[in-house]
Amino acid sequence: MQGLSGRRRIWLVGASSGIGEALARRLLEQGHRVALSARRRDPLERLAEQHAGALVLPCDLTDAQSVHEAAGTLDARFGGLDVLLHVAGTCEYLDAHRFDPALVERVFAVNFHGAVRVIDAALPLLRHARDPDTPRPLLAAVSSAAAYLPLPRAEAYGASKAALSHFLESLRIDLADEGIDISLVHPGFVATPLTARNDFTMPMRIDADTAARAILDGLERRRLDIHVPRRFTTLVKLAGLLPPALRLRLGRRLIRRRSPSEAAS
């Protein structure tokens, strides 16, 4: 399928680059009305110039007022919301030898608390979208395969994504009777500006457009857990089921050894 059927009103948060940009291009090419959000306006404007169905809504996920103002503009322009697609995220790796709680707070501010702010702003619009003659409203968010398995230096990133996954799985239970579906996306390594900063090997890495196709296919099928590339993410899921002692042994084998200069500093 590789797309969403019908013509939906979609709020895509994190549309400026990577997976979000690839999703935005596909959704706009399919004729959906897509509100594009990210901190930076310029890349959103460049996307919107090429597609009549785009609405540029820059916002700061760390600012609740900014997020709610964007949702208000979306509601006024689109007259409601059928799909929330939250893709925004950040990544910083923690060096346990220089423990930095501020780093953890920064990552959670975007990956978890930012997502909660967006969901808070979008839920009233999704509730109003319920109609027996149209597909059920859909709330979807990109987590990470790192949520399945503790990994070296991923204390902040992995924990923020695991928190997001747990939060949305619980919310899925509580919203089921309201007719709002929730899908979670757990990608492995995808070639994006964010992963370009990684200093380690990324097995089975795929490009952003391949990820976007798989995500849209999963959303159309209303899959609860969309993980891609499946060969890699299935292995990570299975590794996450190992006993703690074996997970520790596996994690220690994945540690990137510090150089002499790093160890001395």
**3-class DSSP assignment, residue 84:** strand
What is the reported pLDDT for 260?
A: 38
Contact 184, 227 (CB under 8 A): no
Neighbouring residues of 210: CB distance < 8 A, sequence distance ≥ 6: 228, 229
pLDDT in tens, 143-155: 999 999 999 999 9
Q: Pick the more confident residue, 2 or 262.
A: 2
C-alpha span between 215 and 229 (Å, rounded): 10
**CA dist 64 → 67, 117, 172 (Å):** 5, 6, 22
- Count CA atoms closer than 13 A to 11's CA, side-chain side: 35
Higher pLDDT, 5 or 28: 28
Tell me, what's the pLDDT at 252? Answer: 92
Neighbours of 213 (CB within 10 A): 18
- In 3-state terms, what secondary structure has residue 158? helix
* The pLDDT value given to residue 131: 65
Catalytic residue, chosen from 108, 148, 157, 189, is 157
16 within 8 A of 88, measured Cβ to Cβ: no
Residue 193 — very low, low, confident or very high, per pLDDT cuts 50/70/90? confident
Which range in 59-63, 197-201, 256-260 is most confidently predicted, on average pLDDT?
59-63
Residue 262: what pLDDT?
45
The per-type count for the chain, helices as H runs and strands as E runs, is 10, 9
Residue 179 has pLDDT above 60, yes or no: yes
* pLDDT value at residue 2: 56
- Cα separation, 42 vs 39, in Å, equals 9
> What is the pLDDT at residue 257?
55
For residue 166, is pLDDT > 70? yes
- Where does residue 153 rank: exposed (0-12), middle (13-18), buried (19+ CB within 10 A)? middle
Question: 49 falls in which pLDDT band (50, 70, 90)?
Answer: very high
Q: Which CATH superfamily is domain 9-264 in?
A: NAD(P)-binding Rossmann-like Domain (3.40.50.720)
Active site includes 157? yes
**Is pLDDT at 58 greater than 70 in this prediction?**
yes
Mean pLDDT, residues 152-172 taken together:
96
Would you say residue 19 has pLDDT above 70? yes
Q: Quote the CA–CA distance of 191 and 184 in Å, as a whole number.
A: 20
Q: Give residue 261's pLDDT.
A: 41
Strand partners, 11: 35, 84
